[in-house]
Amino acid sequence: MIAGIDHFVLTVRSVEATCDFYRRVLGMRRLDQPNRPTALLFGSQKINLHEVGRTFEPKARTPTPGSGDFCLVSAVPLAEIQAGLAADGVAIEVGPVERIGARGPMMSVYFRDPDDNLVEVSEYLK
Looking at the annotation, which residues are catalytic? 120
Alpha-carbon distance of 37 to 97, in angstroms, equals 34
Q: H helices within the chain, ranges in order?
A: 15-26, 78-87
For 21, residues 6+ apart whose C-beta sits below 8 A from its C-beta are: 113, 114
Separation CA 59–CA 90 (nearest Å): 30
